Amino acid sequence: MSDNDTLVEQVGPPKNRATSAISHVITDLGKNGIFIALIAVVVLFSILTQGILLRPQNISNLIVQNGYILILAIGMVIVIVAGHIDLSVGSVAAFIGAVSGVFAVKMELPWWIAIILSLLIGALAGAWQGFWIAYVGIPAFIVTLAGMLIFRGLALVVLGNSNIGSFPEEYRALGNGFLTNVFGEFPVDPLTMGIAVIAIVGLVVQQVRSRAGRQSYGQDVEPIAWFIAKLVLVTVGVLAFAYALATFKGIPVTLIILAVLVMIYGIVTNRSVFGRHVYAIGGNRHAAELSGVKTRRVDFLIFVNMGFLAALAGLVFTARLNLAGPKAGDGFELEAISAAFIGGAAVQGGVGTIGGAIIGGLIIGVLNNGMSILGIGIEWQQAVKGLVLLFAVAFDVFNKRRAGGR
């Protein structure tokens, strides 16, 4: 061994496994801060409501009642990551709900044709706005503000200031249906628990393979004890959630829709060229253009997608109420934007995840539900949600300033 090697060994910091393990745990907790916040909110309101929040019926209602917001949050986070905003989603949802009422109730078209036509019209509404944003160059704030007025007015025109109700049973299943009793009646639905077990096995296999892959490339991985502890906690949480659903009515159709959307958009944002281009545009639009990214085309498709998801949210909301009315969609855009920002999306764009937006939407849902159970008025509910949004964005700004040394 040379003198230089000896000197390096003497000067270099000693490897401390305990310190490294603690560092991994702290980093992991920081990355999953929004998930920890959700757990904290659930625990707080479970105590304040004396356990009512976690009753099986209430857990199922949380999913059904907030499904449309979670659907909108998926599209909204992609819009925000690209550096845009969409203020029209509530009006588009109301317009599509009204249109679907004309198709399914007044024209008596088959329910599935009514749904497909409504989704296509929603995508066309998004294409209309995407054209002005991407190819004319008008800021998304202005275009979607105009869209909010246009589509709200069109919804009133279609409805004629009246309600459309009594939708077909299959249509109503979008918002009120449950997948239950497939194998007969049981105190605990076996299908729900079976799907939960399959999901857990899939998650464990994916996490183990991911960890092994990082190790094979010589990358640092979390301590095995912490890795196992996380998997155990997630397993317990998924099984508890599934048991609550299984002892009520089974899996809500809304939850199935959400699960499919999360899987599809998770793949799109993380593993597709389109997803990488969205993050590139949000991070630095000029650099993305110089790299050959067709920014106008990407912007256009982002708003087509947002129109499609706004239409789907409108269908789910209308199906849950079994009614298309002029007040539908009020405040939807605020809830969706709040969910995206609470879930970790950056104000400047370039940062945000589908999972974070879903968790942000769930936090809003738990806040709404918990405060309603406690009998807190709508005025205070709005104030609390506003403060939560403000603190979430302030935390994001604080982290960026600290990282930039300012």
Q: Are residues 310 and 257 part of one domain?
A: yes
Same domain, 121 and 62: yes
- State whether 68 and 163 are in the same domain: yes
Q: What is the pLDDT of residue 155?
A: 93
DSSP string, 255-268: HHHHHHHHHHHHHH
Q: Are residues 263 and 164 in the same domain?
A: yes
Q: Are residues 60 and 190 in the same domain?
A: no
Q: Do residues 261 and 129 share a domain?
A: yes
- 164 shares a domain with 307: yes
CB 279 within 8 A of CB 346: no
Residues 118 and 211 both lie in one domain: no
Give the model's pLDDT for residue 8.
45
Q: How far apart are CA 130 and CA 190, in angstroms?
A: 45
Is residue 79 one of the residues assigned to a domain? yes
Q: Tell me whether residue 298 is in a domain.
A: yes
Residues 121 and 314: their CA atoms lie apart, in Å, by: 12
pLDDT at 406: 47
Q: Is 116 in the same domain as 166?
A: yes
Q: Is the dihedral of CA 45, 237, 181, 263 positive or negative?
A: positive
pLDDT of residue 28: 61
Chunk the chain into consecutive blocks of 10 residues (it has 406) and report each block's average pLDDT, rounded to whole numbers: 49 56 62 80 91 91 92 95 94 95 92 95 96 95 96 92 86 89 84 92 90 83 84 91 91 93 93 94 92 94 96 94 88 91 87 91 91 89 86 72 58
What are the C-alpha distances in Å from 96 to residues 102, 305, 309? Answer: 10, 15, 11
The verdict on 242 and 264 lying in the same domain is no
Beta carbons of 354 and 77 less than 8 angstroms apart:
yes
Q: What is the pLDDT of residue 384?
A: 86
Same domain, 221 and 89: no
Q: Is 48 a member of any domain?
A: no
Assigned domain for 398 exists: no
Are both 244 and 103 inside the same structural domain? no
Q: What is the pTM of this model?
A: 0.89
pLDDT of residue 26: 63
Q: Is 83 left (phi over 0), alpha (psi -120 to 50) or beta?
A: left
Number of domains in the chain: 2
The parent domain of residue 197 ranges over 183-248
